[in-house]
Amino acid sequence: MTSAPALAPPPRPEVWPGRSYPLGATYDGAGTNFALFSEVAERVELCLFDADGAETRITPPEVDAYVWHAYVPTIGPGQRYGYRVHGPYEPHTGHRCNPNKLLLDPYSKAIDGTFAWNQSLFGYAFGDPDSRNDDDSAASMPKAVVINPYFDWGNDRPPKHQYADTVIYEAHVKGLTRTHPGIPEHLRGTYAGVAHPAMIEHLTSIGITAIELMPVHHFANDSNLIDKGLSNYWGYHTISFFAPDPKYSSAPSAGGQVQEFKAMVRSLHEAGIEVILDVVYNHTAEGNHLGPTLSMRGIDNAAYYRLVDDDKRYYLDHTGTGNSLNVGHPHSLQLIMDSLRYWVTELHIDGFRFDLAATLAREFYEVDRLATFFELVQQDPTVSQVKLIAEPWDVGPGGYQVGNFPPQWTEWNGKYRDTVRDFWRGEPATLDEFAYRLSGSADLYESTSRRPVASINFVTAHDGFTLRDLVSYNDKHNEANGEDNNDGESHNRSWNCGAEGPTDDPGVTELRGRQQRNFLTTLLVSQGVPMICHGDELGRTQNGNNNGYCQDNELTWINWANADTGLLEFTRAVAALRANHPVFRRRRFFSGKPVGRRDEHGLPDIAWFAPDGSEMTEEDWGARFAKSVAVFLNGQGIPDRDLRGQQVLDDSFFLCFNAHHEPIEFTLPPATFGSGWRTAVYTGAGQLTPAQAKEVPAAARLSIDARSVVVLQAVAVIGIADQ
């Protein structure tokens, strides 16, 4: 009996020198150029994998300025590849090269496969972090994929909405679409699902102009979560800054997620909706010194990560995830900037929300608003022209930086969230700060020549309670996360309205609905840029779980079948009011000074009133017990001009906020402010009194229900137009 002949190895492809730029794998129609940076490498191997997993290794013939490069004719889209880097394995000096570890290209445009978590992915033997583990990891690693860069964008144009006209909707690709009955089953949970007409109709119906997608950069599922039967649902565990994650793709072929993502952007743009990405450039999925070797750690650890100066085995961690990207190194900065430009130029993205953005300002230790990263962004002709939103904090010392980012940046305004929550749950001494937040947070942004739109206003976001849970729970209920309810924020500034969780009490249920309407109204009439968390307009609940990062299931997905249609209709109405009236979308801060004729008849652009109709005094603002206030917004005192240079004019409005637990009688301003008023929004349980409060005269008295808002629109105004 003779043995079967050995299979012949695949023929080695022809290899040319290629170019050192651009980095990554670049297909030109005839072949693919590969380029990889590593300053520490002694030798690099490009590893090509066929459909059966057989590996062919190629040594790039050229290296220029620490960039190893090769051009391989005939290699095209769909080719799977990775790298092996030969060099020092000296953790104490910060180097962790090991050619037995297959490494993902940091510039991968697409990734195929998943991580099979086992010992081979780690550079050390379990139990001995100072050892070296030479198990080959190729079989357990996903592979980078060469993509087809060509796509028919048609007549695609970025909507380029002004910040003042922007309403942002923070959403998770899967959570938003997974149960929507109007989306075909095979498209639910995918980029194509987000682009489906049923979803676009919903977004436009509530006035959304920009959807902010939670991380879609390819991310790794944590092995410890997989062991618990959970997964990294949120996606803040990035392993590639260029590749859309295929977990959200309906495309059957490797690399098809890129085409599907582009098609999603094109469809959203056709509907006038911008696409903003939540990006995680502050750390990667490789974690701390006990983490796996998947990509940058094995390519050039000391260049890509911030290490502890006196013991480079360890990583500086300003993110709470184990490592921080080394933004003080030019190639790390290049990686970030190349990624941002790629998403804008090749995938037509309209903006970015930077997770833990304070980390990007830590060139050395302290947060520095003049850090090199921000200088590069400001000077870049592409990146500087899209929307730039900072999450203005990290977990390091001095990391809370609300109000301190450079002028062209906007910020998630955490002070807005906290103040509005405190006001509506009845906390004392919140009135003066509530007025600042409602009017655009001039105390945070005006001194640096920024505008109200620097403030991204939000009450809820992915991290924390949903809006419905904010008014239904005093305490977090995260038992499903498997951490004994120790994870997640314990101080939520929430109020359950009298019962913890689900209840049949009609009084509690009605109050919770009213509080949700109060929050949505406050958000949409505040100066700045409102951001709605997906499903809040539908009454979405996570059953009190305020840290759903690991729950990829019905707990975190929107339950479209159980949507609160009344709340949805209310949201649509208030969003339309904002869209139709520029007085709620001012581009400049209020001055409080008279506008129009400079005499006793000139009305201020904003005026604050106590419930009795008198203008607010310092004593009123400082009263700890005060929980009610009214504000006049002068629609003819807007200092903005339209694209043709014409002054923007609008109706005037009078807003009454009553966070007290009892009804409050408000006296409307005299006839000089408006001869009559009609109700535009009312969040209360019953009708305004008197019964004909749909339209009331100047100086009338209105009893405003406990914990409610009324927005009154002027019937006629004495202002610029009448003088």
Helices (H), 606-661: 618-622
Please say whether the beta carbons of 385 and 398 come within 8 A: no
Q: In whole angstroms, give the CA distance from residue 468 to residue 28.
A: 51
Residues 6+ apart with CB under 8 A from 9: 54, 56
Q: What strands, in cross-sheet order, belong to the sheet with 55-58?
A: 55-58, 43-49, 80-86, 143-145, 111-112
Please say whether the beta carbons of 430 and 423 come within 8 A: yes
Question: SS3 for 59?
Answer: coil
Distance between start and end Cα atoms, the chain:
109
Residues forming a β-bridge with 25: 34
Residues 6+ apart with CB under 8 A from 468: 512, 516, 536, 539, 540, 541, 564
Q: In whole angstroms, give the CA distance from residue 205 to residue 192.
A: 19
Active site residue 391: yes
Beta-carbon-side half-sphere exposure of residue 23 (alpha carbons within 13 Å): 23
Query: Choosing from 391, 422, 537, 620, which is the catalytic residue?
Result: 391
Q: Is the dihedral of CA 175, 462, 424, 615 positive or negative?
A: negative
Instruction: Please give the backbone phi and psi of residue 193, each rounded to the nearest 5 degrees, phi first.
Output: -65, -40
Tokens linked to 661:
């637990």
Peptide bond into 10 cis (omega under 30): no
Name residue, tokens 């790629």: 342
Please say whether the beta carbons of 25 and 33 come within 8 A: yes
Beta-carbon-side half-sphere exposure of residue 484 (alpha carbons within 13 Å): 0
- What's the gap between Cα 656 and its chain centre? 31
Tokens linked to 405:
């980012």
Tokens linked to 41:
């490498």
Instruction: Please give the backbone phi and psi of residue 679, each rounded to the nearest 5 degrees, phi first.
Output: -75, 125
Query: Choosing from 260, 355, 394, 650, which is the catalytic residue?
Result: 355
E-assigned strand segments in 28-98: 31-37, 43-49, 55-58, 62-64, 67-73, 80-86, 89-90, 95-96
Q: In whole angstroms, give the CA distance from residue 300 to residue 28.
A: 28
Count CB neighbours of 384 within 10 A. Answer: 12
To the nearest 10 degrees (0 to 180), the angle between helices 431-438 and 414-424 is 130
Q: Are strands 701-704 and 664-667 parallel, antiparallel or unpaired?
A: antiparallel
Residues forming a β-bridge with 96: 89
Q: In whole angstroms, give the CA distance from residue 568 to residue 628.
A: 26
Residues 6+ apart with CB under 8 A from 150: none
Please say whether the beta carbons of 322 and 283 come within 8 A: yes
Q: Are strands 606-609 and 410-412 parallel, antiparallel or unpaired?
A: unpaired
Would you name the residues annotated as active-site residues? Answer: 355, 391
